């Protein structure tokens, strides 16, 4: 199963929270494993929120979290200048439950609770099988550009990474210019604006949970109702399902191919985004097989309790 590294700037756009939800939705279907989440937004709240989302799915789909502790910290760019908090971070992190305790648990309270992102991503790659890792860039390429400067990293990336998908063409071009050694794809800006995530889906499709960190972040980011672009969601989906017929590819330009919306695929792609982003956590099972593409053909498997991961 392919391992996905998700590098973002969580806290800048509600789209990023939706993209992370899509990634965990794919993980829950056993189509990938979330290996590392890192942020270029120098803010403890950014890292804490990423961990909150991981813990929301913990004991269900995320191999990076367990019942007692996490095995890999969230990577954070520590450049000495901490950025301001944003409502999409502070509102979920400050939410209290009926007992007055934090609604969402996390273990990030100071800088040492995170990891230096470039080194973390490099170390995570060393643990992957050759050509069995995928990198999704959902923010500025700062962490990845710094990682490329580390000793022997270009050779490591070439051996381990199948491809990289960037939500922003500028980030893709910067990495190509820096010598990123594996195929690079970027999401066409028109795709993200043609297919928008509807506010009504945030209210309706996530209603199975009375407290959801992605919903809280989305509603806090802007005055509701509003629809969100989906370039980052598309980057996650294409990274894992590159053969999806909703996508079409351009010819390479300066080493980067753009991922575009295939004709007549708008409604299908939006449906997929909504289904994955709003999917419920799936209990961990040993040797859990991928869910069939056609839900009607999928055979239900007996439920098993989540197994704690030893610290």
Task: Determine the Cα–Cα distance for residues 112 and 280; give it in Å rounded to an integer.
Answer: 31
Q: What is the mean pLDDT of residues 31-60?
A: 91
Q: Look at 73-77, 112-116, 259-263, 298-302 and tell me which has the smallest mean pLDDT.
A: 298-302
Output the CA–CA distances (angstroms, integers) from residue 215 to 10, 128, 210, in the order listed. 14, 32, 10
Q: What is the mean pLDDT of residues 280-306?
A: 52
Do the beta carbons of residue 196 and residue 229 sit within 8 Å?
A: yes
Q: For the chain, what are the domain ranges?
A: 3-297
Task: Determine the Cα–Cα distance for residues 206 and 212; give it in Å rounded to an integer.
Answer: 8
Better pLDDT: 64 or 261: 261
Better pLDDT: 78 or 11: 11
Residue keyed to tokens 């939706």: 18
Do the beta carbons of residue 63 and residue 23 sit within 8 Å?
A: no
Using the CB atoms, write b or e for 40-61: b if 16+ within 10 Å.
bbbbbbbbbbbbbbbbbbbbbb
Task: Determine the Cα–Cα distance for residues 155 and 78; give it in Å rounded to an integer.
Answer: 25
- Give the gyration radius of the chain's Cα atoms: 18
Task: Tell me the residue ranges of DSSP E strands in 200-255.
Answer: 247-249
Q: For position 236, what pLDDT does the model report?
A: 98
Q: For position 305, what pLDDT does the model report?
A: 39
Cα 74 from chain centroid?
Answer: 12
Q: What is the mean pLDDT of residues 175-180?
A: 98
Output the CA–CA distances (angstroms, integers) from residue 274 to 181, 225, 287, in the order listed. 33, 16, 27
Q: For position 59, what pLDDT does the model report?
A: 54
Question: What value, to the nearest 5°, has the Cα angle with vertex 181 and ends 156 and 256?
Answer: 145
Q: What DSSP assignment string belongs to 199-246?
A: HHHHHHTTTT-S--HHHHHHHHHSSSS--B--HHHHHHHHHH-TT-TT
Write the pLDDT tens digit of every residue in 150-171.
999 999 999 999 999 999 999 9
Residue 183: what are its φ and ψ, rounded to 5°? -55, 140
Q: For position 302, what pLDDT does the model report?
A: 42
Of 3.90.245.10, 3.40.50.12280, 3.90.1150.10, 3.30.70.270, which CATH number belongs to 3-297? 3.90.245.10
Residue 109 tokens read as: 């309270």
* Backbone region of residue 280 per phi and psi (left: phi > 0; alpha: psi in -120 to 50; beta: other values): beta
Q: What is the mean pLDDT of residues 107-117?
A: 94
Better pLDDT: 10 or 285: 10
Q: What is the mean pLDDT of residues 221-243?
A: 98
User: Looking at the DSSP assignment, which residues form a beta bridge with residue 138?
Assistant: 8
Q: For position 78, what pLDDT does the model report?
A: 79
Do the beta carbons of residue 255 and residue 172 sit within 8 Å?
A: no
């Amino acid at each position: 199963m392919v391992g996905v590294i998700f590098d973002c700037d969580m806290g800048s756009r509600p789209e990023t929270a939706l993209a992370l939800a899509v990634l965990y939705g794919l993980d829950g279907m056993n189509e990938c494993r979330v290996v590392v989440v890192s942020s270029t937004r120098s803010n403890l709240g950014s890292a804490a929120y990423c961990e909150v989302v991981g813990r929301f799915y913990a004991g269900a789909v995320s191999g990076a979290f367990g019942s007692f502790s996490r095995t890999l910290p969230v990577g954070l760019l520590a450049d000495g200048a901490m950025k301001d908090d944003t409502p999409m971070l502070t509102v979920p992190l400050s939410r209290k439950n009926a007992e007055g305790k934090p609604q969402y648990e996390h273990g990030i309270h100071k800088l040492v609770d995170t990891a230096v992102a470039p080194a973390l991503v490099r170390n995570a790659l060393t643990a992957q099988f050759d050509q069995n890792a995928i990198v999704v860039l959902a923010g500025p390429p700062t962490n990845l550009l710094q990682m490329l400067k580390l000793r022997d990293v270009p050779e490591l990336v070439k051996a381990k990474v199948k491809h990289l998908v960037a939500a922003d063409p500028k980030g893709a071009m910067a990495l190509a210019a820096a010598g990123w050694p594996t195929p690079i794809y970027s999401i066409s800006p028109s795709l993200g604006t043609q297919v928008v995530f509807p506010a009504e889906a945030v209210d309706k499709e996530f209603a199975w949970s009375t407290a959801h960190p992605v919903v809280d972040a989305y509603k806090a980011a802007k005055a509701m109702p509003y629809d969100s672009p989906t370039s980052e969601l598309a980057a996650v989906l294409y990274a894992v399902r590159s053969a999806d017929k909703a996508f079409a590819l351009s010819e390479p330009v300066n080493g980067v191919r753009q991922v575009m919306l295939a004709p007549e695929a708008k409604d299908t792609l939006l449906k997929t985004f909504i289904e994955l982003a709003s999917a419920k956590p799936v209990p961990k099972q040993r040797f859990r097989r991928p869910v069939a593409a056609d839900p009607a053909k999928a055979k239900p498997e007996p439920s098993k309790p989540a197994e704690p991961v030893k610290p």
